[in-house]
Amino acid sequence: MALKTYFIETWGCQMNVLDSQHLEGLLRARGLEPAGDAVEADVTLLNTCAVREKAVQKVASRLGELRQARQAGGKPGVIGLCGCVAEQDGARLLARSNALSFVLGPGKMSQLGGALDAVEAGQRPSVTGFGATRDYDAHLIARPAGGRQFVTAIHGCSQHCTFCVVPYTRGHEVSRPLAEIVAEVREVATAGGREVTLLGQTINAYRCPATGADFGDLLRAAAQAPGLWRLQYVTSHPKFFTDGMIAKMAGIERVGSYLHVPFQSGADTILRRMHRGYSGAEYVALAARLRSAMPRVSLSTDVIVGFPGETEDDFERTLALVEEVRFSQLFGFVYSPRPKTPAARYEGRISRALAHSRIERLFAAQSAIQLELNQGLIGRDVEVLVDGPARRGTTQWQGRGDDNRVVNFSGWDGIAAGALAEITITGATPHALLGERRAPVARRPAPSA
């Protein structure tokens, strides 16, 4: 079996996006070339997400589609299941579906070559689990063109929030050494990465295993990378901010003004049952501390609606927190029970209809806030990192400011993805700003180390 081409489908979070780049690098190092689609590729990888319900059903139905389409074209090919569903349910899916050739968990990505060798020898391997350390070969990551890049700072998660499957699918938390992370950020910036996002499930819990340096120290060192425009980071956990850390963060010019801090619920009873480690009032006080230290900061958040036992009063506390803090972005999720998690066994399930009506109310409240906040920016000049054309067939471009707001702008022929554009904001919707070109921005000089 000569394997010459590949295609990777990526579902889920930024970590999965980066993992897919890693998998792609491993395939290229083996001599494979990209294929046009999943059906014609010799090797198709499904890099999956297990955070919410129906993950396994989604994989099963995609496998069915691929099997049919490939058989019709006379091409069985190799299909590998990667990512969090692979870790959570891969062995079962391998036994159930003969469309699947192998399974590779997020802790075993570097063994992709061995798995393909085994497939070529007629086996169907399942490679999952986690070691004390994690493999991460920065040089093998196939980074796409464009100015926005990711770098892992922490693997896994040890928080065990009662709703969350991540500690089971990505293993316990392991921080990478600060020197390795900084070296990677420098390489990425030298190669044209203007904005680097450091990734970790609880990024502000970072501790360098070699020196004990904390997250503020990591930001300070990484932000020095020559050529870097902005350093971003996700996801921060409310309980790990300290005054010292906030002071360090506030003093770094190149740290973006976007801060993603999930609060999950405004009700203390629910927060306790989620094992989040803070109260609603403590979250509101934290938001005020962050804003007083970093007046330009745009706070964004995650919220779960319909957690077991959530009463109307609990939900109204969530709405009240949203009204009080006024986030620039909010990602809302209907609670879904996940395997192995304590909350999956909690009593007081909320009906889907009620949970959906609550999330609609949440989105309506947030949308009004976002529109007001965005309208308040009309007339401002902002710097935007360009991602590409806004839509096919238009002359509009799209990018994001350093506060992560989407900006659609026109009047700039010949601009390219990865460029910085100086834009005047002329209009606003709840989910995007509209703008016009100002003058081109000169490349910033590198800071002295």
Residue 201 in the binding site for ligand SAM (CB under 6 A)? yes
| Burial 374-409, CB ≥16 within 10 A → b, else e | beebeeeebbbbbbeebeeeeeebbbbbbbbbbbbb
| Binding segment toward ligand SAM, per CB under 6 A, in 309-317, 318-326, 328-336, 426-434 | 328-336
User: Please, what sign has the CA dihedral across residues 278, 279, 284, 285?
Assistant: negative
The phi-psi region of residue 277 (left if phi > 0; otherwise alpha if psi is between -120 and 50; otherwise beta) is: left
Task: State the minimum distance, in angstroms, from the CB of residue 305 to ligand SAM.
Answer: 8
Residue among 54, 63, 75, 88 nearest 5 (CA): 75
Sole binder of ligand SAM in the list 20, 47, 336, 404 (CB under 6 A): 336
Residue 163 in the binding site for ligand SAM (CB under 6 A)? yes
Binding-residue pattern over the window 233 to 262 for ligand SAM, x denoting contact by CB under 6 A? --x-x------------------------x
| Binding segment toward ligand SAM, per CB under 6 A, in 286-294, 322-330, 334-342, 378-386 | 334-342
C-beta closer to ligand SAM: residue 101 or 366: 366
Task: State the minimum distance, in angstroms, from the CB of residue 304 to ligand SAM.
Answer: 5
Sole binder of ligand SAM in the list 51, 69, 293, 378 (CB under 6 A): 51
Report how far residue 353's alpha carbon sits from residue 113's, in angstroms, rounded to the nearest whole number: 46
Residue 164 in the binding site for ligand SAM (CB under 6 A)? yes
Q: Return the residues of window 93-152 that contact ligand SAM according to CB under 6 A.
A: none
C-beta closer to ligand SAM: residue 52 or 124: 52
Query: Would strands 230-234 and 258-260 be described as parallel, antiparallel, or unpaired?
Result: unpaired
242 upstream amide cis, omega within 30 of 0 = no
Report how far residue 408's alpha carbon sits from residue 389's, in angstroms, rounded to the nearest whole number: 9
Task: State the minimum distance, in angstroms, from the CB of residue 135 to ligand SAM.
Answer: 21
Q: Return the residues of window 406-445 that contact ligand SAM according to CB under 6 A.
A: none
C-beta closer to ligand SAM: residue 193 or 306: 306
Report how far residue 187's alpha carbon sits from residue 183's, in angstroms, rounded to the nearest whole number: 6
Which residue in the block uniquely carries the two structure tokens 């620039």? 328
C-beta closer to ligand SAM: residue 353 or 449: 353
Which residue in the block uniquely carries the two structure tokens 């995609």? 62
Sole binder of ligand SAM in the list 50, 116, 304, 377 (CB under 6 A): 304
| DSSP secondary structure code for residue 255 in this structure | B
Task: State the minimum distance, in angstroms, from the CB of residue 370 to ligand SAM.
Answer: 18
| Binding segment toward ligand SAM, per CB under 6 A, in 19-27, 329-337, 353-361, 373-381 | 329-337
Residue 335 in the binding site for ligand SAM (CB under 6 A)? yes
**Could you give the C-alpha distances from 80 to 22, 102, 392, 416, in angstroms and in order?**
15, 5, 32, 35
437 forms beta bridges with 423
| Binding segment toward ligand SAM, per CB under 6 A, in 124-132, 189-197, 215-223, 335-343 | 335-343
User: Please, what sign has the CA dihedral across residues 446, 253, 386, 146?
Assistant: positive
| Burial 233-266, CB ≥16 within 10 A → b, else e | bbbbbbebbeeebbebbeebebbbbbbbbbbbbb
Sole binder of ligand SAM in the list 52, 124, 291, 361 (CB under 6 A): 52
| Binding segment toward ligand SAM, per CB under 6 A, in 95-103, 212-220, 310-318, 332-340 | 332-340
Sole binder of ligand SAM in the list 240, 333, 346, 363 (CB under 6 A): 333
Sole binder of ligand SAM in the list 50, 104, 161, 433 (CB under 6 A): 161
C-beta closer to ligand SAM: residue 278 or 335: 335
| Binding segment toward ligand SAM, per CB under 6 A, in 59-67, 162-170, 391-399, 419-427 | 162-170
Residue 206 in the binding site for ligand SAM (CB under 6 A)? no
| DSSP secondary structure code for residue 226 in this structure | T
- Decide: 107 and 130 in contact? Cβ < 8 Å: yes
Helix (H) or strand (E) holding 199: strand 195-199
- Chain residues binding ligand SAM by CB under 6 A are 13, 51-52, 157, 159, 161, 163-164, 166, 201-202, 235, 237, 262, 264, 302, 304, 333, 335-336, 338
